Amino acid sequence: MTRSSLLRALATSLVLAAGAAPAPSPLAAQPSAQPPAVLRYAFRVAETSFDPAYVTDYYSRVVISGMFDALLQYEYLASPVRMRPNTAAAMPEISADYRSFTFRIKPGIYFADDPAFKGAKRELTAADYVYSLKRHYDPRWKSGNLYLLENDKILGLSELRRETIAKKVPFDYDREVEGLKALDRYTLQIRIADPKPRFLFHFADPSYTGAVAREVVEHYGDRIGDHPVGTGPFVLKEWRRSSKIVLARNPNFREVRYDETPPADDPRLQAFAKANQGRRLPLLDELHISIIEEDQPRWLAFLNEEHDMVEIVPPEFAPIAFPNNKLAPNLAKRGIQMVRYPRADVAVSYFAMENPVVGGYEPHKVALRRAISLGVDVEREIRLVRRGQAIPAQGPLAPQTWGYDPAFKSTMSDYDVSRAKALLDMHGYVDRNGDGWREQPDGQPLVIEYATQPDQESRRLVELWQKNMDRLGIRMVFKSAKWPENLKASRGGKLMMWGVGWLAGDPDADTFLALGYGPNKGQANHARFDLPAFNALYERQRATPNGPERQAMMTEAAKLMIAYMPYKVHVHRVMTDLAQPWVKGYHRNIFVRDWYRYVDVDAAQQRGRGAEGP
């Protein structure tokens, strides 16, 4: 935001606080005959890359999902969650033992135009999916999603990767492997070593199984993350790193029509779906994403109508925007729409299990982590920092996913300073030199380093951590860096502790147990937890169809994570999005990252309300 727009926003917020609607700005752009439909909003964290073989963060994945196509997709408005074909002509043929999956791709799907194609129209084929999946195994690309595919044990690919590393040679993309083949131009077959009843979930996420063309990767080389070229509904029109991202309608996008079934209890979506059935997707012409890390300017940009929606209202503004979780009258008067939903996520602080201070499996190391967990006042965190927009977590499994049990109770959310101090005393973490701070059992200083970010919410969490640990006599120091920098350091095993959220990409709680699976170290498993008993349970539940037997395995695995405490799981967040009245058809399916392809903007109304033009 500019200085002038920020001042205008501040003035607007004062008017809104008094309950009055703002007057239209005299600077409003005059509507044209057919103004473009442009949706504008902001990320609170900067993107990292637009390469599906590399990216793991939520924000980059949101952008990637609009440019690349997976074989399948989740229905936008369906509840419970349902999958349907995307680039696949139909749902795949699956063997009875869940080890063979055969997809047939629709002919006539084309990549966006790019100089790498030398002026030719480039059709999507089965070989593109073979190549794109192989890229995750190529050590060159340092895939953060490799663990997902390696856990599935696609026949021959892990062996090819190990051979590549051992021989120190380039990855051989032309070498055929048993588990990944293009049977013909439009038929893809994947074979895995062990049964995987939920294997298909991976192929509804374009942010890492979207198709990439080999010519594009070879043309741009190490800069491929700056040049995303896919078959999706949008192309990258403009990008100012960590500042602004603009996606525009892909002129090569195939003919796909709006065909969604809205919930029967939502008249707003019912009316929109009826009016827009059969319209060609995407409905938007452009998507403009700003990067605004601080909560206040992001919130004011929405109030000032410079942004059309605010995704996840910052907790500090929740009591103003929706007191008692009901839309404030002044916002309702303006026609603001509120969409509230539980998020399938966990907010965690991890302990680096290979760190000599907080890591390890010895009883005194486990006691230290458990004592720190008992010293965290989760209820106060929810009340003061998250402003009531979360529920206490009892373990690593999250709501909205199969395997989560709302009746499960553990010590994970307990706050008990006396018990925490007793654990520390019992295991030798005492103040030996009288300075008020505890030392390690061997007399060495006990200093906990916690990585954090320079945004306002992180600062409030830091303040609470400081107070919590001061009560226990534990010295905690905080090291602040930008989120992408912390992510890189974390994947390299260089952080002692870090607080981060983990969001499910599919409707199954396996993704949260993956945080503790030993072979996932440096990928999902940032804590680098590696317990044989847990690993065995994790592998067994993966091969078991949904039912009581699998539920029991998942619960037992969760209990092991709670007992050894590689992660302090704080909360499951409840999110609220707000949208301006000219945003049409907005809904939130937490498993559809490219939700914006289904949303429209009444551009004439948008411009007539005093918003600055795109």
State the chain's mean pLDDT as an integer: 93
- Both tokens of residue 520? 């996932």
Q: Does the pLDDT at position 26 exceed 70? A: no
Distance CA 485, CA 274 (A): 46
Residue 214 has pLDDT above 50, yes or no: yes
Q: Judging by beta carbons within 10 Å of its beta carbon (0-12, 13-18, 19+), is residue 514 exposed, middle or buried? A: buried
Give the CA dihedral 389, 395, 398, 403, nearest 10 degrees. -150
**131: confidence class by pLDDT, cuts 50, 70, 90:** very high
- Is pLDDT above 90 for 24? no
Nearest-angstrom CA–CA distance, 611 and 601 = 13
Structure confidence at residue 414 (pLDDT):
97
DSSP percent split of the chain into helix, strand, coil, nearest 5: 35, 20, 45
Q: Residue 104 forms beta bridges with which residues?
A: 187
Concatenated DSSP letters of 266-313: -HHHHHHHHHHTTPBSP--SEEEEEE--SHHHHHHHHHTTSSSEESS-
Residues 455-482, mean pLDDT to the nearest whole number: 95
pLDDT tens-digit profile of 259-293? 999 999 999 999 999 999 999 999 999 999 999 99
Q: What integer is the mean pLDDT of 92-97?
A: 97
DSSP-based three-state secondary structure for 590: coil
- Taking the C-alpha atoms of residue 224 and residue 236, their distance in angstroms, rounded to an integer, is 13
pLDDT more than 90, % of the chain: 89
pLDDT in tens, 312-332: 999 889 999 999 999 999 999
Tokens of 82: 């349902």
pLDDT average, residue stretch 65-72: 98
pLDDT in tens, 508-547: 999 999 999 999 998 899 999 999 999 999 999 999 999 9
- Residue whose C-alpha is closest to residue 292's, from 242, 239, 241: 242
Cis status of the peptide bond prior to 80, with omega within 30 of 0:
yes
Q: Is the pLDDT of residue 466 over 90?
A: yes
Ordered by where they begin, the domains of the chain are 3-46+238-341+580-608 (3.40.190), 69-231 (3.90.76.10), 345-573 (3.10.105.10)
First vs last Cα of the chain: how many Å apart?
Answer: 13
Model confidence band, residue 20 (pLDDT cutoffs 50, 70, 90): very low
In which band, very low, low, confident or very high, does the pLDDT at 486 lie, cut at 50, 70 and 90?
Answer: very high
Q: Which residue has the higher pLDDT, 190 or 20?
A: 190
* Beta carbons of 582 and 611 less than 8 angstroms apart: no
pLDDT of 9 above 70: no
DSSP 8-state code for residue 184: E
H or E element in which residue 350 lies? strand 345-351
Tokens, residue 85: 């074909």
- Higher pLDDT: 11 or 166? It is 166
The mean per-residue pLDDT over the stretch 396-419 comes to 96
Residue 5 has pLDDT above 90, yes or no: no
> What confidence tier does 33 reach under pLDDT thresholds 50, 70, 90?
low
